[in-house]
A and B are shown apart, each in its own frame.
Chain A
Amino acid sequence: MASDNVAPYLKIVDVTKKFGDFTALQGISLEVFEKEFVCFLGPSGCGKTTLLRAVAGLDIQTSGQIFQKGRDISALPPSERDFGIVFQSYALFPNLTVRANVAYGLENQKVAKPKIEQRVTELLDLVGLPDQGTKYPAQLSGGQQQRVALARALATEPGLLLLDEPLSALDAKVRAHLRHEIKELQHQIGVTTIMVTHDQEEALTMADRIVVMNNGVIEQVGTPLEIYSQPASPFVADFIGTTNFIDAKLVTPTSARVGNTDLSLSASPPGIAEGTEVTLCIRPEDVLTGSRADGAPNQMTLPIHHVEFLGSFHRLHTDPVGGGAGLMIDVSVARAREIDISVGGSIRVALPAEHMNVYTAQR
């Protein structure tokens, strides 16, 4: 989506937010394109909500600029910006019916009454609640309330939809269902959307692009696949999915020494000098086992300590490669029938160079 010749819909330039001495956001720059669905993902307290509220104008940044459709909105109050918002709590007005809640924003636009009624009906249809209009929010289930909040935010046809952990108050089943629905809806009406979440699965399934944040800075921006397969830092690798960390020392740009074995690498990122301590990351499912390991480089045999059964695959915990933590290896149930994975035995594995990412060791 991020193409070079299209002007971004939302442009965030060097935004910093301080609460007293505490820096919640540090030099955030980001571009969001029209009709894009972007997720802010990161651990609790990393500043996702703070960034979202800065975009909304609810807590204006200390310094830096924000442009929407080329207009500088950096200092504008929320009432002068163009967005709809859904909060984690939904913040539905409890004493107003579902219809009145959805109509609330339209009334301020001086739309004629019959027009409002028509639009509200349309919106309730859109979110799949055509018969619930006369109820009060307290009489609805969590998932239904969530949809009402969405309808209310979309009623005034905002150019930008902001969602702050909209699904986190719901139970797992409803959540999975609504994920899909929200994504569909967004696609259908084509509204540019930013969603905050700390649930990686949510981000991976819903987002066109993910913004991974940590400690007030952006760690990586990319499509879900990019983020998963080429994490820009050990933090991202660790935060998204599961990964093995292997301590090593770079010998040449394409090989690293672990303990007393040398592992070959496809290519280490430029700028890391030979002799530097590095961290190698490889995902448990990328470790080759059994017949697939035959003939592959970076082979070794490791004793198995412990086996976890996780439904569609087994996760083996083995001795570490060299020093450090033990290795995790995922073996699909089908493959497990071919090889012996009993605790106490050993397993022959290979670490494919193309799936090993190299980072400067952080300590």
Chain B
Amino acid sequence: MSDAAATTAPIVKPKISRDDWIMRIAMMLIAVYLLVGIAFPLYALLAKSFQNADGQFVGLANYITYLTTPALSWSIGNSFKVTLIATVIVMFIAFIYAYALTRSCMPAKSLFKGIALVPILMPSLLPAISLVFFFGNQGIIKEWLFGAELYGPIGIVMGEVFYVFPHVMTIMLISMSLSDARLYEASEVLGASKIKTFFTVTLPSMRYGLVSAFFVAFTLIITDFGVPKVVGGQYNVLATDVYKQVVGRHDFQMGAVVSMALLIPAAFAFIADRIVQRKQVALLSARAVPFQPKPNPMFDRIMLAFCSLVGFIILSVLAMAAFSSVVKFWPYNLSLTTKHYNFQLMDGGGWDSYFNSIELAAWTAVFGTAIVFFGAFLVEKSRGFQHGRTAMQALCMVPMAVPGLVLGLAYVFFFNHPDNPLGFLYHTMPILVICTITHFYTVAHLSAVTALKQMDPEFEAVSQSLKAPFYKTFWRVTVPVCTPAVLDISMYLFVNAMTTVSAVVFLYSSDTTLASVAVLNMDDAGDQSPAAAMGMMIVCTAAGVRLLHMILTRGIQSRTQAWRKR
């Protein structure tokens, strides 16, 4: 025994420097934030689903009730059905749209790229309200449905296709622009026909993009609450069921069970997507020559026609929302008015809710960006502490797998629990900020990580050799170099905080009503025009922030071009 010990040299135990300590403690603090922001609430939700109304543990009883009551479990099938149909349709349209943008020589490409992003600015309630004005009982073109009813699967599918189109289109666009022109040349040289090239080169080269787009669309749709809330009618889906159980019937246990039913597919889709993305990254590292399309008048014209049609539909949905918010009494009196913007007279909190939303978005952008960026920096650039960093990395990915409604309900269980010392946060602005930052944490974290990975990994090493504390280099080098990414993250958080409904719908109070929730409540009360008006306020604000972001980014880019390459 002692012989063996003598032959193996002692392991060197690195001394932990002051910087290392500070970084580890900071990382722990952010980990605590994420535990409180996501892990503990999820646990509270899970526990709730195994309890009866009195808080006693009842095992799987709630789940059994749920699955054996057709009126309840019905929504599972519904959800999957509409989600799959809408996913297939949106992928088809987005594919052609992205194909036109990358593979044709049609004019006005950047305009079409811009139009495709318009739905991002809207809370998903708003396109659904627009659909009501088009196809609802008093819709202007309701006969286009050939007598079919908007309220139900048809409305949900139409609304969801609109809502997720920009996300799916963006993924496809990236995946298509990654493909290698040399493959096309080779295919051409070998005399393959266009169709054959499409099936042997184009499709295989974007397989990861397609799979990723599928999972993203699937998750966004199955977890979306706004569209089915407005046009779902009697057709129950999981998302509306959670809301109905909790807000309508005050059956929190059943709400928790339905939440779990919603969480599981969303989490699976998320994990599948992560696996696929990792493979795509491997593909990306090979140096590819970008594809340059050649003019082909016939093909270009067809593509232009298709994009124009899609663009026209997107803009008309927006225009309808705008128009209906300024006409007196749809559809009988179409003279213009601003009375619908007089929110004081309506349910939903009036103008206060709009300003509360701005406040929420501003806090979310400021604190969220700071926490996310610093957290990503610590995970990426700290030394040693391998297990801690891996755990932190995993924790940062969890929020993306959790649907907003589930998160919101989990907060109710966690923060409203009588024994929780953090209970004082319940029904306040800070809890809305915490919830919103957490809800959108993952995407923001991933953008920060991407930006940080592009920095020279030796900056930290050099800074240590020069005896500079890490925070000095963080502040003087990392943040300035990453300013564009920091701005991107804050804009992303701001716009999403403005438009989100699902997570906050369970958490607002009469003092903290929000614009997006006001849209929901006014629509619920039958006041579609004021709801559209509030929706337009959100769209305009989000568009304004995007514009501001663009101007700021341009300004910074030109001020710092002396040291930014190219």
Interface residues of B in 15-30 (CB under 8 A from A): 15-20
Q: Which residues of B contact A155 (CB under 8 A)?
A: 466
Inter-chain contact A62/B11, CB cutoff 8 Å = yes
Instruction: Sort A-B residue pairs by CB-CB distance and give the 4 closest, nearest first.
Output: A105-B466, A77-B17, A136-B563, A63-B9
Say if the beta carbon of B560 comes within 8 Å of chain A: yes
With beta carbons under 8 angstroms apart, the residue of B465, B477, B564 that contacts A138 is B564
Is residue B555 within 8 Å, beta carbon to beta carbon, of the partner chain?
Answer: no
Q: Which of B267-275, B418-426, B455-463, B546-554 contacts A (4 or more CB under 8 A)?
A: B455-463
Q: Which residues of B contact A107 (CB under 8 A)?
A: 468
Within 8 A of A (CB), among B357-384: 383
Can you list 16 A-B contacts (CB < 8 A)? A57-B14, A58-B461, A77-B14, A77-B16, A77-B20, A78-B461, A85-B461, A91-B456, A93-B477, A95-B481, A95-B563, A96-B476, A104-B466, A104-B468, A109-B467, A152-B462
A60 within 8 A of B: yes
Q: Taking the nearest CB of chain A, how far is it from the CB of B177, in angstroms?
A: 26
Interface presence of A37 (CB below 8 A)? no
A153 at the interface (CB under 8 A from B): yes
Do B481 and A75 have beta carbons less than 8 Å apart? no
Which residues of chain B have C-beta atoms less than 8 A from A79's C-beta? Answer: 17-19, 464-465, 467
How many A-B pairs have beta carbons closer than 8 Å: the answer is 109
A56 touching B465 by the CB < 8 A rule?
yes
Partner of A61, one of B12, B467, B469, B481: B12
Query: Separation in Å of the B467 CB from the closest CB of chain A?
Result: 5
Contact at B465–A95, with CB atoms within 8 Å? Answer: no
Which A245-261 residues sit within 8 Å CB-CB of chain B? none
Min CB distance A120 to B, Å, is 13
Contact present for B17 and A93 (CB under 8 Å): no
**Nearest B residue (CB) for A94:** B563
Assess whether B10 is interfacial by the CB under 8 Å rule: yes
Q: Whose C-beta in chain B lies nearest to the C-beta of A103?
A: B466
* Per-residue A-contact encoding for B98-109, CB less than 8 Å = 1, 0 else: 000000000000
User: Is A126 an interface residue, CB under 8 A from the partner?
Assistant: no
Give the residue among B456, B458, B466 with the most A Cβ atoms within 10 A: B466
Please give me the residue from chain A that is nearest to B459 by CB atom: A91
Bound Cα distance from A140 to B468, whole angstroms:
25
Cβ contacts under 8 Å, A96 to chain B: 476-477
Contact A83 B465 (CB under 8 A): yes
Q: How far is the CA of A189 from the CA of B484 in the complex (A)?
A: 42
Q: Across the two chains, which residue of chain A brings its CB closest to B466?
A: A105
**Chain B: which residue is nearest A76 at the CB level?**
B15
B430 at the interface (CB under 8 A from A): no
CB-CB under 8 A from A105, the residues of chain B are 465-468
Interface mask (A53-71 → B, CB under 8 Å = 1, otherwise 0) = 0001110111111000000
B287 at the interface (CB under 8 A from A): no
- With a cutoff of 8 Å between Cβ atoms, the chain B residues found around residue A94 in the complex are 477, 481, 563-565
Q: Closest B-chain residue to A66, C-beta based?
A: B12
Q: How far is the CA of A57 from the CA of B562 in the complex (A)?
A: 34
Cβ of B294 within 8 Å of any chain A Cβ, yes or no, is no
Query: B13 interface residue, CB < 8 Å from A?
Result: yes
Residues of A within 8 A of B464 (CB): 58, 77-79
Asked if B480 is at the interface of the complex by the 8 Å CB criterion, the answer is yes
* A residues in contact with B10, CB < 8 Å: 63
Q: Please name all residues of chain A whose beta carbon is closer than 8 Å to the beta carbon of B473 when the two chains form the complex.
A: 93
Residues in B536-566 with C-beta less than 8 Å from chain A: 560, 562-565
Total number of A residues with any Cβ neighbor in B under 8 Å: 42
Residue of A nearest to B11 (CB): A63
**Is A78 within 8 A of B12, CB to CB?**
no
* A34 CB to nearest B CB, Å: 20
Q: Which of B463, B467, B480, B562 contacts A139 (CB 8 A)?
A: B562
B401 to chain A, nearest CB (A): 29
Residue from B19, B383, B560 with most neighbouring chain A CB atoms (10 Å): B383
Q: Which residues, 433 to 492 on B, are CB-close (under 8 Å) to A?
A: 456, 458-459, 461-469, 472-473, 476-477, 480-481
A87 to B457, CA, bound (A): 10
Judge whether A74 is part of the interface by a CB distance below 8 angstroms: yes
Report the minimum CB–CB distance from A2 to chain B (whole Å).
25
Q: Is A89 within 8 A of B562, CB to CB?
A: no
Residues of B within 8 A of A74 (CB): 12
A77 touches B15 (CB 8 A): yes
CB-CB nearest in chain B for A84: B465
Tally of contact residues, B, Cβ under 8 A: 37
Of A76, A84, A85, A156, chain B has the most CB atoms within 10 Å of the CB of: A85
A131 interface residue (CB < 8 Å to B): no
Q: With an 8 A cutoff between CB atoms, is A289 at the interface?
A: no
A108 at the interface (CB under 8 A from B): yes
- Within the complex, the shortest CB–CB distance from A65 to chain B, in Å, comes to 8
Q: List, in ascending order, chain A residues with CB within 8 A of B564's CB.
A: 94, 138
Q: How far is the CA of A139 from the CA of B17 in the complex (A)?
A: 35
Interface centre among A77, A85, A96, A153 (most CB of B within 10 A): A77
A85 contacts B562, C-beta separation under 8 Å: no
Report the nearest A residue to B472, measured CB to CB.
A108
A21 CB-CB contact with B under 8 Å: no
A80 on interface, CB distance cutoff 8 Å: yes
Chain B residues closer than 8 Å to A58, beta-carbon distance: 461, 464
Q: Please determine whether B467 and A156 come into contact, CB atoms closer than 8 angstroms.
A: yes
* Cβ–Cβ contact A108 & B467, under 8 A: yes
* A268 on interface, CB distance cutoff 8 Å: no
Q: Does residue A14 face the partner (Cβ distance < 8 Å to B)?
A: yes
Q: How far is the CA of A94 from the CA of B477 in the complex (A)?
A: 8
- How long is the Cα–Cα vector from A108 to B468 in the complex, in angstroms? 6
A78 CA / B470 CA spacing, docked (Å): 12
- State whether the Cβ of A279 lies closer than 8 Å to any Cβ in chain B: no
Pairwise interchain contact A80-B465, C-beta atoms closer than 8 A: no
For the complex, what is the distance from the CA of A85 to the CA of B65, rounded to whole Å? 67
How far apart are the CA atoms of A81 and B480 in the complex, in Å?
Answer: 28
Q: Chain B contacts of A75 at CB under 8 A? A: 12-15
Q: From residue B23, how far is it (CB to closest CB) to chain A in Å?
A: 12
Which chain A residues in 86-122 approach chain B with CB under 8 Å? 87, 89, 91, 93-96, 104-105, 107-109
Residues of A close to B472: CB separation below 8 A:
108
CB distance from A25 to the nearest CB of B (A): 12
Give Cα A226 to B473, complex, Å. 44
Q: How far is the CA of A74 from the CA of B11 in the complex (A)?
A: 11
Tell me which residues across on chain B come within 8 A of A192, comparing CB atoms.
none
Interface string of B512-531 (1 = CB under 8 A from A): 00000000000000000000
Minimum CB–CB distance for B428 against chain A, Å:
39
Chain B: which residue is nearest A18 at the CB level? B11
Is the CB–CB distance between B465 and A153 below 8 Å?
A: yes
- CB within 8 Å of B: which A211-236 residues: none
- Pick the most buried of B11, B14, B15, B467: most chain A CB atoms within 10 A of its CB: B467
Q: Which of B15, B459, B461, B565 contacts A93 (CB 8 A)?
A: B459
**A16 interface residue, CB < 8 Å from B?**
yes
CB < 8 Å neighbour of A16 from B9, B16, B459, B563: B9
Least CB distance from A21 to B in Å reads: 15
A105 to B462, CA, bound (A): 9
Contacts of A158 in B (CB 8 A): 465
B563 cross-chain contacts in A, Cβ below 8 A: 94-95, 136-139
- CB-CB < 8 A to B383: which residues of A? 77
Residue of A nearest to B458 (CB): A91
Of the residues B9, B16, B469, B565, contact of A14 by C-beta under 8 Å: B9
Contact B456 A78 (CB under 8 A): no
With most chain A CB atoms within 10 A of its CB, the pick from B9, B473, B564 is B9
Q: B456 touching A152 by the CB < 8 A rule?
A: no
Across the interface, which residues of A come within 8 angstroms of B18, CB to CB?
Answer: 79
In the bound complex, residues from chain A placing their C-beta under 8 Å from that of B466 are: 84, 104-105, 108, 152, 155-156
